[in-house]
Structure 1
Amino acid sequence: MKKFTSLLLSLWAAILLISCNPDGNEVPLGEFEKGGILIMNEGAFGANDGEVSFYEFAQESARPNIFEAANNRPFAGLLQDLVEHNGHIYLVANTGKVEVVNAGDFKSVGAVEGLDISRSAIVTNNKLYISDWGPYDANFNSPDSYIAVVENVKGDPIATKIPVESRPEGLFAVNNQLLVASSATRKLSVINLNQDTVSRTLDITGRPSFFFESGNNLFLYAHDASNVYFHEINKSNITISRTITVNLSRATSNFALGTDNSIYIITSTGWPDYNDAVAKVNLSNGSVSNPEFFKGSGFYGIGYRNSAREIYIADNNGFQGNGSVIVVNESGQEVKTFTAGRGPSGFKFRE
């Protein structure tokens, strides 16, 4: 019986180390697709030293600067988002470029340049769409925001720019439509992907930032000084079917979806005190389970590891050198910390 069980476990381990490429052929997973965590390090303003670290579970340490190691050049930008699609990872820099790398080894396969303040990206309809604030005006507003359209998903010159509401952030594709959350004007724009034009806009309560799915439900996260809003979106007709309002002050746009309808949200008093906390919220009824689930300073990003039921909190350490990552269990107790890069802000778990 033990021998048979061991054989099954070995076969299962082998299956876990296999993935499919876009052609449907099975290929082994690369070194950065298993056994660790990709950590997005934003970098410091002016230094443009954003990078990606890879925390290895077996070694219990983070390998720094994996983009530079794979490509023999620095990333050279402020890393804003990390998006994966069909074996490629899109490294979005808010300093005006997107680098496209292989997910397995982080070697560059292309790039998009000529952007302004790029924020996020999505691949849909065989194209790459990038949300961009556009250039600042004299008052540091963003009146000329857009979605950049690139026809080659591995990177190319920008084919066209779709004007959208000010300061677009998160993107979500459904039913041949692209949803765009614009924080400055508190709007949800709907782009027809057949024509690459905005078909309509919806008013949103709070400053919307990112979309997420819980079960079969699609939500748009928004917040203001006093509340957090989970706007549930009807995917069929793109309307707000309901809004769950959470009485939580000083919330940021950094959150992570946990188990059992729990969401962990970073709150902050901001400058000059930076008294930060992670609040635990129940998505199903909008109640705040614990407004100070974990307290600290310099919280800059958050993630949830489902297999271990642990919360990962990125600490920027005031951008004085490298940041760190604090690992907390579901009881709010610190499990461990480890060093990341400059300004860690996000996680992608590779089990």
Structure 2
Amino acid sequence: MKLNQLLGALALISASFACSDNGEEKPLGKYNNGILIMNEGNFGTNDGEVYHLNPNTEELLPNIFETENLRPFAGLLEDMVFEADRLYLVANTGKVEIVNPADFKSSGAVSAELDQPRSLAVNGSKLFISDYGPYDASYATPDSYVAVVNGLDGGVVSKKIEVSNKPEDLFSYGNYILVAGSEENKIEIIDATQETVTKTLQLEASPRQFYAEDGILWVYAVGADEVIFYTVNLSSLTLGNTYSVPVANATSRIAFDGDDEMYILTSSGWPNYNDAVVSIDIEGNTATATELMTGSGFYGIGFDDNLNQVYVANSNGFQGNGTVTVLSETGSVIRSFEVGRGPSGFLVY
């Protein structure tokens, strides 16, 4: 999930009223206050969906896309991106659905010319969508790209910008789109006007997520036995500081608490799936890791910075529905509840 998504938690709106363009206060909608839970869905049945949670009352509303649009989402959810007053639901089965975050009514889509979209960013009046491209005969993805759509409410793909294999997260800044090239350890920088790659930053690990905080752009990257956090100087589009933390088997899942602390998932993989929730604290030039929880089946993570709670999603091996466990910042279990199939990410309003 994107850390503009995500694949972490963002505080988008904290009040119970919003201001209209004419200055009048109007109540927020049914869904744009609380926590959205992204359920990826099961491969083959493509039953991805979104749940809405009110963390104060613990009321959980299931399948809100289908409820509000009278049709199933019909895809595998990869990312949820809130930008330009719209919520973009990215499905790696080849489409992007665009909904009004207040009532979850569909306002458009991108459903043609995409292969395996991963995430999305907005720049001006354009959408930029990272896409693995099609698999070749050996299941490699040599034709990865970033798709361009002219119009914030979807439409047709006007161009495919060739990038390195397996692009993941995107970040929009000024006239540029930064691309996390996960397979070739690159950050590629696209000029949004020219729609071409104009600069490449080479990394020592696989970049997965961007996160902007207090004028600093963080890059979360994964190595074989460590995780590395890079900073990017946005004024010059150059690398800044580097923080390496010896954590083995890190996954791409991460949540930021907005105060230089990150929560990641690790997994030993098949056949044992020894998983853990790890807290990483960066202070000055030092980064330290603390294991908060162990188990198996951990599939997504988020952070509610309104209540200072960690949300851990468990796929339960895709044998039926998944569960979510809420932790304190120190790892104490607060509660657990059932959600949809393959829960993998959270968006906190």
Structure 1 length as normaliser, TM-score? 0.91
Q: Distance in 2 between matches of 1:97 and 1:260?
A: 34
Partner of 1:8: none
1:50 to 43, 48, 51: 48
Partner of 1:209: 208
2:110 to 105, 109, 112: 112
Partner of 1:288: 288
**Which amino acid in 1 is paired with 2:336?**
T
**Which amino acid in 2 is paired with 1:104?**
A
For the 8 Å contact 1:101–1:107, the answer to whether it is kept is yes
Q: Distance in 1 between matches of 2:118 and 2:239?
A: 24
Q: Distance in 1 between matches of 2:20 and 2:149?
A: 22
Partner of 1:95: 93
Q: Distance in 1 between matches of 2:127 and 2:255?
A: 25
Partner of 1:335: 334
1:65 to 49, 56, 63: 63
**Which amino acid in 1 is paired with 2:101?**
A
Per-residue deviation, residues 239-274 of structure 1 (Å, max 9, x unmatched): 111211111111111111126422111111111111
Partner of 1:244: 243
Partner of 1:10: none
Aligned ranges 1:301-316 → 2 under 5 Å: 301-316=300-315
Aligned ranges 1:260-275 → 2 under 5 Å: 260-275=259-274
Cα 1:244–1:255, aligned 2, differ >3 Å: closer, same or farther? same
**Which amino acid in 1 is paired with 2:173?**
V
Per-residue deviation, residues 180-199 of structure 1 (Å, max 9, x unmatched): 01111111111111211111
Cα 1:260–1:113, aligned 2, differ >3 Å: closer, same or farther? closer
Cα 1:103–1:295, aligned 2, differ >3 Å: closer, same or farther? same
- Range 98-107 or range 173-182, more displaced: 173-182
The answer to which structure, 1 or 2, has the higher relative contact order (CA under 8 A, 6+ apart) is: 2
- Range 212-221 or range 314-323, more displaced: 212-221
Corresponding pairs, count = 334
For the 8 Å contact 2:145–2:162, the answer to whether it is kept is yes
Cα 1:259–1:100, aligned 2, differ >3 Å: closer, same or farther? closer
CA shift, 1:286, in A, is 4.4
Identity %: 48
Q: Distance in 2 between matches of 1:113 and 1:313?
A: 31
Cα 1:230–1:22, aligned 2, differ >3 Å: closer, same or farther? farther
**Which amino acid in 2 is paired with 1:233?**
V
Q: Distance in 2 between matches of 1:324 and 1:304?
A: 16
Q: Distance in 1 between matches of 2:27 and 2:198?
A: 42
**Which amino acid in 2 is paired with 1:97?**
K
Q: Distance in 2 between matches of 1:306 and 1:327?
A: 13
DSSP 3-state at the match of 1:283: strand
**Which amino acid in 2 is paired with 1:102?**
N
For the 8 Å contact 1:220–1:230, the answer to whether it is kept is yes
Q: Distance in 1 between matches of 2:279 and 2:25?
A: 40
CA shift, 1:25, in A, is 6.8
Segments of structure 2 that go 5 or more residues without pairing to the other structure are 1-13
Cα 1:289–1:198, aligned 2, differ >3 Å: closer, same or farther? closer
Higher helix share: 1
**Which amino acid in 1 is paired with 2:182?**
S
**Which amino acid in 2 is paired with 1:165?**
S
Q: Distance in 2 between matches of 1:244 and 1:286?
A: 7
Q: Distance in 1 between matches of 2:315 and 2:20?
A: 36
**Which amino acid in 1 is paired with 2:270?**
W
For the 8 Å contact 1:279–1:288, the answer to whether it is kept is no
RMSD: 1.6
Segments of structure 1 that go 5 or more residues without pairing to the other structure are 1-14
**Which amino acid in 1 is paired with 2:277?**
V
Aligned ranges 1:1-351 → 2 under 5 Å: 16-20=15-19, 27-34=26-33, 36-114=34-112, 115-258=114-257, 260-284=259-283, 285-290=285-290, 292-350=291-349
**Structure with bigger gyration radius:** 1
**Which amino acid in 1 is paired with 2:288?**
V
Q: Which runs of 4+ in 1 moved over 3 A?
A: 20-27
Per-residue deviation, residues 257-306 of structure 1 (Å, max 9, x unmatched): 1264221111111111111101111123443341x211111111111111
Q: Distance in 2 between matches of 1:183 and 1:103?
A: 29
For the 8 Å contact 1:87–1:104, the answer to whether it is kept is no
CA shift, 1:18, in A, is 2.5
CA shift, 1:20, in A, is 4.3
Structure 2 length as normaliser, TM-score? 0.92
Partner of 1:9: none
Q: Distance in 1 between matches of 2:143 and 2:347?
A: 31
